[in-house]
Amino acid sequence: MRSVNLLPTLATDRFRRQRLVLTWSKLLLCLSLATASLIAWGQSTATQQLQRRDQQESLAEHPRQIRKQCAALQVQLRELNQYETVQRVQRSQFSPLVACQLLHHMKAQLHGQLQITNLEFVDTSLVQTIGQAPTAGGYLSLQLISSGPTSCSRVMQSIRETNYFSDVRLSSALEKVDSTGTNLQYSVRCEF
């Protein structure tokens, strides 16, 4: 049996359009609901995760502060070291007090047989710019009187044994202080 569509063509098209609109409307409605649910879930999950992130961040705050303090202290230590270096470079490398202490010690060793008539200390080391190694340089010139050549030799030996000086030498002749006594006067130059 053959079916025959008796509806006019225009009516058929209108019914088709209505069905199409209805189908799309249902589909879009379902999709909108699904999207709305997805957005609601997404926002809620994201908020929860952001809260957890804030918690984690607050937990890490204390160690982060410690790390920051360590960095600041390291900078301060570096500055202090630099300050100390500058001070060391600018002040005398070899103190005249060391020479005085040395002479005091030698006088005690020689039981008063050594007399110092003059001490000259000259520091010729150059002041380097910051960061460069300082170079010590200069000399100590001593005018001494001791009781005989043996004492003079002991004095020279004692000065050499201190290892403070790169060179120790007699810078004048050994001369008698007076014609009757045995005391000798002489000069010693010690380079540092």
Partner 1 sequence: MNNSFNHFQIHALGLCGLCLCLVAGYYLGLRPVWQAQQQLQAIASEGDNLQSLRPSMELELASLTEHIAAKRQLLAEKYSIATADDQPWVGIVTQLLQQRHVELGSLREEPQGSEGGATIMLQITGTYVDLLGLIDDLRRLDRPARISSLNLSPQDERGENCSALVSVRFFPRRHNSPPPPTT
Residues near partner 1, by CB under 8 A: 13, 16-17, 20-21, 24, 27-28, 31-32, 34-35, 38-43, 45-46, 49-50, 52-53, 56-57, 59-60, 62-64, 66-67, 69-70, 72-74, 76-77, 79-81, 83-84, 86-87, 90-92, 95-97, 100, 115-123, 127, 130
Q: Minimum distance between the CB of residue 136 and partner 1, rounded to whole angstroms?
A: 12
The H or E element containing residue 107 is helix 96-109
Q: Minimum distance between the CB of residue 3 and partner 1, rounded to whole angstroms?
A: 22
How many whole angstroms separate alpha carbon 100 and alpha carbon 118?
11
Give 99's strand partners: none
Q: Minimum distance between the CB of residue 1 and partner 1, rounded to whole angstroms?
A: 29
User: Which is nearer to partner 1, 2 or 131 (by Cβ)?
Assistant: 131
User: Which is nearer to partner 1, 30 or 174 (by Cβ)?
Assistant: 30
Q: Minimum distance between the CB of residue 79 and partner 1, rounded to whole angstroms?
A: 4
Query: What does the DSSP assignment read for 17-62?
Result: HHHHHHHHHHHHHHHHHHHHHHHHHHHHHHHHHHHHHHHHHHHHHH
Residues with Cβ < 8 Å from 167, sequence gap 6 or more?
189, 190, 191
